[in-house]
């Protein structure tokens, strides 16, 4: 059984940890609002970009379509871009994204496909290298970036497009976590190359039933629009991850603070019982000695 001194030291240690987790919860809560606003503000633009892309795509035949939209005509080699957080202490946020990417990779491998992985974020690299270290071809870390900007997403998009131009892969899928609420982040897989577009009702609404003539030609517009759309989708994924990370960290630190409080209560009860038992024992020894005299 631990001594009273050991129990006092442990209680003091848990109290110090509780202060840290409480401070981290408050910091995450302060950052969450700004990150959530940024993620929600990016959604309409990303969605509208997809609608415009679908509308322009509907006017282009298969032979005139740019390679980023038409693809290579094969799906033998897949590139998985796995975007996670740079830091931990956010519950299962990073592991859920990595789990979705891991399951997708294993399914592709089982079907005889070649898989390559590009990680964005330190935690994704740390998790995936345990099982797929030989499949990771590159990694991007944003640890030094104080605030995610479009330039960061554009650099990642250019890296992916450069690999596609070199013939390194046929299909590219982006993995990230879509922010729903503080307690809910949904791991998501989005195919960005070839551009997965469909002419839906919203695209038809944008067109308004009219027939447009493009200047320059639609194929030329797509050649510039699709790379930008890839950067926009990556940017949205980074913003969604930033909001999801703060939400998950806020929840995790709140749980840790509560658990620390419960542990302090239990240790205090144990300390008080042991202290009382020691006092009682000393009193019995004193009384026994006095009666012996």
Q: What is the CA radius of gyration of the chain?
A: 28
Residue closest to 55 by CA, chosen among 191, 196, 206:
206
Phi, psi (rounded to 5 degrees) for 187: -60, 135
CA 252 remoteness from chain centre: 15
How far, in Å, are 35, 243, 273 from residue 228 at the CA level?
22, 23, 67
Q: What angle do CA 254, 257, 259 make, to 5 degrees?
A: 110
Q: At what angle do helices 218-292 and 93-110 cross, to 10 degrees?
A: 130
Tell me the C-alpha distance between 120 and 262, whole Å: 37
HSE of 110, CA atoms in CB hemisphere, 13 A: 6
The upper half-sphere exposure of residue 129, i.e. CA atoms within 13 Å in the direction of its Cβ, equals 11
Q: Quote helix, strand, coil % in the chain, to nearest 5.
A: 65, 15, 25
Query: Cα-flanking dihedrals φ and ψ of residue 221, to 5°?
Result: -65, -45
Question: Cβ distance 55 to 85 under 8 Å?
Answer: no
Q: Is 172 a catalytic residue?
A: no
Of the residues 90, 153, 203, 234, which is catalytic?
A: 90
Helical residues (DSSP H) of 111-200, grouped into ranges: 122-132, 150-165
Tokens of 286: 């004193």
Alpha carbon separation from 149 to 43, 85, 119, 249 (Å, rounded)? 15, 15, 18, 21
Would you name the residues annotated as active-site residues? Answer: 90
């Amino acid at each position: 059984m631990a001594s009273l001194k050991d129990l006092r030291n442990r209680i003091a240690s848990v109290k110090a940890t509780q202060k840290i987790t409480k401070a981290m919860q408050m910091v995450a809560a302060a950052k969450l609002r700004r990150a959530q606003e940024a993620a929600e503000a990016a959604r309409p633009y990303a969605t509208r970009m997809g609608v415009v892309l679908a509308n322009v795509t509907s006017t282009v035949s298969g032979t005139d379509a740019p390679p980023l939209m038409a693809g290579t005509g094969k799906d033998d080699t897949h590139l998985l871009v796995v975007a996670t957080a740079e830091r931990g202490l956010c519950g299962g946020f990073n592991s859920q994204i990595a789990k979705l990417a891991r399951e997708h990779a294993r399914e592709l491998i089982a079907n005889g496909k070649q898989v390559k992985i590009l990680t964005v974020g330190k935690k994704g690299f740390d998790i995936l290298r345990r099982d797929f270290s030989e499949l990771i071809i590159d990694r991007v870390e944003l640890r030094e970036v104080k605030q995610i900007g479009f330039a960061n997403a554009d650099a990642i998009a250019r890296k992916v497009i450069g690999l596609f131009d070199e013939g390194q892969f046929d299909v590219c899928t982006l993995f990230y976590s879509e922010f729903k609420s503080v307690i809910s982040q949904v791991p998501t897989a989005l195919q960005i190359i070839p551009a997965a577009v469909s002419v839906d009702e919203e695209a038809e609404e944008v067109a308004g039933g009219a027939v447009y003539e493009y200047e320059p030609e639609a194929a030329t517009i797509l050649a510039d629009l699709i790379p930008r759309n890839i950067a926009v989708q990556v940017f949205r994924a980074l913003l969604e991850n930033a909001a999801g990370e703060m939400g998950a960290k806020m929840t995790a630190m709140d749980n840790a603070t509560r658990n620390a409080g419960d542990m302090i209560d239990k240790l205090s009860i144990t300390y008080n019982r042991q202290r009382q038992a020691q006092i009682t024992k000393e009193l019995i020894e004193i009384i026994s000695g006095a009666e012996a005299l």
